[in-house]
Structure 1
């Protein structure tokens, strides 16, 4: 729509009258604008607020005041609602909410909502939370897969898409009604749509004691760029590391278990595994050890059905830090990741450049002959 140039000395050309600035401003679509903050606890659960004006729960946040920058608006809302002073420098998502969306008043014109990364709240942060006298009545931590049970559908989609963007570590996701217009692997696979199984077992370096049965063997399997392999169940969106239960055919050799499982589950072959340590699982009637190894991927073939589980896994490459965000490991993640980094260096592999999670190619690329 052309504007009338009032500063021009030239005679206006004949034709329909041009739009004035006032008419142009009045013609623009009016949208609400809002902000949200995505906080998680140490286990990767999303922090939600209970509010007194609707049954569904919300991310911390609210409306942007006239003339207020989004990053300042989210800092103000978090301070008002939780009593926490934070600065926000990273947007995870920008979502367009369409007119007439459920949960909004009649005549709602649509809204643009900026979702900012609030990071991880430690126990001390939760102790410092101070709720206002009105509106916010409580705070809870919710497993990502259970967000639709606590939030409105659009809000739950937006929160999970923002969590995917945080894990990918790339620029903000552009959403329309909570759905990415450029979906990543995490979006396409609907990763975290199934509740994760807590694995809060203590981590130990060194061999498992003789009296503790080694029940499972899992591996951090690295590609040439230093990223590790994570398997995503196509029917569940659940993540796992390659590996599985030690079977009689493995002759009590967990490294042999890992080689077998890596092939059966992911169709990858690996170098000689490096032992990292074990997790002491004392949650059942019979305590056991779940050991961890690291190895380099040496070859692979296209994925196929895993007969043991009845499903085909999608093979994603992620940094160890990204992979850890797909599991419920709590404080036990840090010492394990330290061992993983040391093993990666021992294997002669580089520290990976952070990028969004991508699939392992179906076939190993053909290496070009050396130029003489």
Structure 2
């Protein structure tokens, strides 16, 4: 960073004496003499006046938006009267306003819902040449904060009140629908922020919607295709003998309490593995989901060993049970299944895992 000139530094006198007991930031002998009223090209070193330094700094807009989901994991987007694509709630940060305060103000102005959103999901740098900006706007680039609005209950959603103008409707969209509904950069940003929320590893730093340090979920493009949908009712215990079974899946626990998750590299679709995906111990029937005229059984077990990846088209990750559910569309019965998973984990004497970013397992397999 360039040094600012000090008006007390002159060619004749040198730097002003320091106050008694003060420590000089730079030894006097190392301070180059300033040339009064000289042009920047004539002054030695990197010294600049405050005015010159201020003029050299980049000018950027600042904005704040809020990412809200419903209990089914769909994202709240708004229709507005001034552009065809949809937006997350939010807007410009006013002069002297903190970004989190701007986020709360915008949500209240646009949706009539009061709240505080102190948790950041992402900070995005949007370049001045981002597509879609009218030339006459003089867009200089923007720093945009994405805050976590959390999961809104049905009552909170029903309390939304739209203003007389600007916001014409709100919708809850599947994450995979966002690229078709939003501007490309807005959709990238929303999906990156949603992955950051699922990761639980802190706010993501983005450049035009793309993470500067991609996680496994980012690299695999999770949520860019429809989440695995399985609704229906949850039933504990084994499947009755007279009921047709379909697509058995396993909650296979690693020693740290996380479970195995498969992600298709081509589509980013995530789903539970079959119960035979690895060598296991302590297997027990967890229950089954009854849907599509059949039972979809679930087995819980500890993984003892994982063989080399049989299909390179799939990545194998370890994730918390909550992350698995958030990456799936299981409807209200997902809560009951998740409760059964935690009961099985405790029965297997395994710890409750903290939320950390899912980690990809090596293709050559592993042993525990």
The Cα RMSD (Å) is 1.7
- Of the candidates 141, 146, 150, which is equivalent to residue 181 of structure 2? 150
CA deviation vs aligned residue, 1:38-70 (integer Å, no higher than 9, x gap): 111111111100000000100000000001111
- Of the candidates 285, 289, 296, which is equivalent to residue 275 of structure 1? 285
CA distance in 2 between counterparts of 1:158 and 1:347 reads 39
Give the SS at the match of 2:238: coil
CA deviation vs aligned residue, 1:15-59 (integer Å, no higher than 9, x gap): 534422122222211100000101111111111000000001000
- Of the candidates 80, 84, 101, which is equivalent to residue 55 of structure 1? 84
- Of the candidates 70, 74, 89, which is equivalent to residue 99 of structure 2? 70
Q: CA deviation at 1:211?
A: 3.7
Q: Decide whether aligned partners of structure 1 residues 184 and 19 sit closer, same or farther in structure 2, where only a CA change above 3 A counts.
A: same
1:101 and 2:130 are equivalent in the alignment: yes
Instruction: State TM-score, norm by structure 1.
Output: 0.87
Q: CA deviation at 1:8?
A: 5.5
- Size of the aligned set, in residue pairs, is 337
CA deviation vs aligned residue, 1:304-344 (integer Å, no higher than 9, x gap): 22xxxxx6210011000111110011221111111101111
Hey, what does 2:197 align to over in structure 1?
Answer: 166
- Of the candidates 163, 168, 186, which is equivalent to residue 137 of structure 1? 168
1:11 and 2:14 are equivalent in the alignment: yes
Hey, what does 1:308 align to over in structure 2?
Answer: none
Q: CA deviation at 1:227?
A: 0.4
- Of the candidates 83, 87, 107, which is equivalent to residue 116 of structure 2? 87
- Is residue 228–residue 269 contact of structure 2 (8 Å, CA) maintained in 1? no
- Is residue 305–residue 367 contact of structure 2 (8 Å, CA) maintained in 1? no
1:116 and 2:119 are equivalent in the alignment: no
Q: CA deviation at 1:296?
A: 0.7
Q: CA deviation at 1:7?
A: 5.2
Rg (Cα) greater in structure: 2
Q: CA deviation at 1:83?
A: 0.7
Hey, what does 1:176 align to over in structure 2?
Answer: 207
CA distance in 2 between counterparts of 1:226 and 1:172 reads 24
CA distance in 1 between counterparts of 2:212 and 2:342 reads 35
Q: Decide whether aligned partners of structure 1 residues 312 and 99 sit closer, same or farther in structure 2, where only a CA change above 3 A counts.
A: same
Hey, what does 1:299 align to over in structure 2?
Answer: 305
Q: CA deviation at 1:366?
A: 7.5
- Is residue 42–residue 120 contact of structure 1 (8 Å, CA) maintained in 2? yes
1:203 and 2:213 are equivalent in the alignment: no
1:235 and 2:266 are equivalent in the alignment: yes
Give the SS at the match of 1:348: coil
- Is residue 91–residue 172 contact of structure 1 (8 Å, CA) maintained in 2? yes
Q: Decide whether aligned partners of structure 1 residues 26 and 168 sit closer, same or farther in structure 2, where only a CA change above 3 A counts.
A: same
Q: Decide whether aligned partners of structure 1 residues 213 and 5 sit closer, same or farther in structure 2, where only a CA change above 3 A counts.
A: same
Q: Decide whether aligned partners of structure 1 residues 199 and 165 sit closer, same or farther in structure 2, where only a CA change above 3 A counts.
A: same
Q: Which consecutive residues of structure 2, in runs of 5 or more, have no partner in the other structure?
A: 16-32, 36-41
Identify the range of structure 1 (10-19 vs 189-198) with the bigger mean alpha-carbon deviation. 10-19
CA distance in 2 between counterparts of 1:362 and 1:94 reads 33
- Of the candidates 270, 288, 291, which is equivalent to residue 294 of structure 2? 288
Q: CA deviation at 1:139?
A: 0.4
CA distance in 2 between counterparts of 1:208 and 1:170 reads 38
Q: CA deviation at 1:210?
A: 4.0
CA distance in 2 between counterparts of 1:45 and 1:351 reads 26
CA distance in 1 between counterparts of 2:232 and 2:221 reads 27
Give the SS at the match of 2:128: coil
Give the SS at the match of 1:271: strand
Q: CA deviation at 1:231?
A: 0.1
Q: Which consecutive residues of structure 1, in runs of 5 or more, have no partner in the other structure?
A: 244-257, 263-267, 306-310, 368-372
Q: Decide whether aligned partners of structure 1 residues 102 and 344 sit closer, same or farther in structure 2, where only a CA change above 3 A counts.
A: same
